[in-house]
Amino acid sequence: MQKTYYDPADLKKFGKISDWNQELGDKFFEYYGKVFEEGALTAREKSLIALAVAHTEQCPYCIDAYTKDGLQRGVTKEEMMEAIHVGAAIKGGATLVHGVQMMNKVNKLDG
C-alpha cells in the first residue's frame, strides 16, 4: 500500500492526466504553456507569482517545480521568500478581514 498521499515521482507523471481525457488535457496544457510565456509580465515575474500561489495553495508539486524554475531563471532566495510573504500576507489578510463580518454579527446580536 502507498504510505503517503504525495509521491515526488508523480510530478513527472502530470502529463498523464491527458490519457483519460485527451482533449481537455491538451487544452489545459496548451493554456498552461501560453499563460507562462513572456507577455506584459516577464516569464520571471510569472514564475514568482506561481511560487507564491503554490504556497497559498500548499501544493508540494508546484512548490518543487517553481522553486527549481526560479533558480533556473536566476531568482534569488531573497526574492523567493519575499514572494511567499506576499502570498502569506494575502492569506492572513483574507482571514483577518473576515473578522469584520464577525464583528458585524456580534454587534448585531449582542451590541
Partner 1 sequence: MATKSLHKRESDLANSNRQLEILSNGIFQNGELPTFKNKIAESNQFPLKAKKLEILQINVGYMCNQVCDHCHVDAGPDRKEIMTRDTMRQCLEVIKNTGAHTLDLTGGAPEMNPDFRWFVEEAAKAGIKDFIVRSNLTIIRANKKYYDLPEFFKKHNVHVVSSMPHWTRGKTDKQRGDGVFDASIKALQVLNAVGYGMPESSLKLDLVYNPSGAFLPGDQATMEKDFKKALKEDFNIHFHNLFAITNLPISRFLDYLIASENYEDYMYALVEAYNPTAVANVMCTNTLSVSWDGYLYDCDFNQMLELPVNSKVKHISEYDESLLEGRNIVISQHCYGCTAGAGSSCQGSVA
Residues engaged in binding partner 1 (CB under 8 A): 12, 38, 42-44, 68, 71-74, 76-78
Helix axes 60-72, 43-56, angle to 10 degrees: 150
Residue closer to partner 1, measured from CB, 10 or 38: 38
CB-based contacts of 88, cutoff 8 Å, min separation 6: 55, 56
Q: Give the shortest CB-43-to-partner 1 separation in angstroms.
A: 7
Residue whose cell numbers read 492572513: 92
Residue closer to partner 1, measured from CB, 22 or 42: 42
Q: Give the shortest CB-36-to-partner 1 separation in angstroms.
A: 12
One-letter amino acid of 98: H
CB 46 within 8 A of CB 62: no
Q: Give the shortest CB-85-to-partner 1 separation in angstroms.
A: 18
Residue closer to partner 1, measured from CB, 77 or 85: 77
What is the CA 37 to chain-centroid distance, rounded? 17
Q: Give the shortest CB-78-to-partner 1 separation in angstroms.
A: 8
